[in-house]
Amino acid sequence: MKKFTALPWACVVAALWAGQAPAAQRVVWPSVVVHLHGSGSAYFVDTGTDTVTATLETCKGGTLASTTPDAKKIYVSCAAEGQKEIVVLDLERQTVSKRIATGNRPKHGLVSPDGKWVGINHWGLDGGKHRITFLDAKTDEIAKVIDLPVANAEAKGVASMHNAWSLDSRLLFDVDRVDNRLVVVDTRDWSVRTFAVPSAPHYPAPSPDGKELWLVHEGDDKAAPGILVYDLTQPEMPVIARMDMPLIGEEVAEAHHGNFTQDGKLFLALNRGPGKDSRGREVAFFDTQSKRLVHRLTTASNGVGHTYNTPDGKLAVVTNYGNNVITVIDINQRKAVKDLKIGAGRMGHVAFTQDGRWGYVSNEKDGNLYKIDMNKLETVKKIETGNKQGGGQVLNVWTNTFEELPRR
């Protein structure tokens, strides 16, 4: 399988308080994209021919995954009720290589920038505790299990959401939604620290220079949806900024994801709205230096959840939980330049070819992939990957968070 390499996006980060320089792997772009289905399948699509080259059995709820930086493996998290496994896919052979039981409903196993670890959080509690499992990515064996006590051991619902790694691969950032805490695990000694968050934490994102962590929290009747910024250059990780979503003209409010633009100058935060009422349409632009709101816009998408950066950093593609419209934003102009209606149900995720010419967008309801000409901003092809509800993430290259690609 032909591959392409790019410089790792963490390779130029200055050494932080860890006292050592980052050791990220070179990031490889594979020539396939993989479309995951919650019904239990993974579809391999060759981006040269747009044909499905393999269909693998994964697991129920297997809609999220992470690629290793060398593009040799993909770790699929089985988040459905009753599931306990991570399914390891061999990206080169296009086979299932292993199944590993890690805990109650693995949410999103994430590979570290150096390719050494897979940090796995869980939607469900294990024995009434918040579990984080670490795999050795070389052997695919469990290296460490951390069970963190929570105030309500009988709590139901989503116990965690998303992970991220510090750029030196030392710290894993997780979120505890039972006690509303940021959880930080130090892989040098497996020590754990927690930090109280005003409302349910959802999405941690390290800044491109590795010096800050921006954490999106959802908001509730006591706290507005917003962002906390932690200083990673200080051992105590103090909060140095707090920002609220503007929520202008929004009928419902619940912050979802947020990501940095490829140049690191802006952070885009999205208001999705509650899961059962996904009508949020706001994208808020925060300046990363001043930590101030500098712009906002309302999209034609609703229930907006993700803004996927294109490889050149010029555009962001907004996908959602509400309708079948994706909104394309011009980052420099800070405005929506195109709305595309795609497929039969709500949109899901996007993956791009390395040159940025083509985007592959998943549709959750009809379960298929749609190829987008990123120059013309037009849908050019439907690729049948399931023809059934449950379409999830489409991925290829390694990323630390959903929407930010390796930086050039």
How many degrees, rounded to 5, is the angle at CA 75 between CA 171 and CA 169? 15
**What's the farthest any 2 CA atoms get from each other in the chain?**
52
* pTM > 0.75: yes or no: yes
Instruction: Please identify which residue in the block is written with the tokens 């290589």.
Output: 97
**Residue 109 pLDDT > 70:** yes
DSSP code at position 219: -
Place of tokens 């909104």: 327
Domains in the chain, start-ordered, CATH in brackets? 3-395 (2.130.10.10)
Q: Give bridge partners of residue 306 from the DSSP assignment.
A: 319
> 285-295 pLDDT, tens per residue?
999 999 999 99
Asked if 96 and 77 count as a contact pair (C-beta separation under 8 A), the reply is no
Closest by Cα among 99, 72, 103 to 87: 99
pLDDT band at 276 (very low <50, low <70, confident <90, very high): confident
d(CA 199, CA 177): 8
Residue 374, pLDDT > 60, answer yes
Mean pLDDT of the 29-48 span: 97
Rounded to an integer, what distance in angstroms lies between the CA atom of residue 306 and that of residue 292?
21
* Residue 407 pLDDT: 87
Q: Which two tokens stand for residue 141?
A: 């064996």
The H or E element spanning position 391 is strand 391-395
CA-nearest of 270, 220, 214, 221 to 246 is: 270
- The pLDDT score that the predictor gives to residue 19 is 41
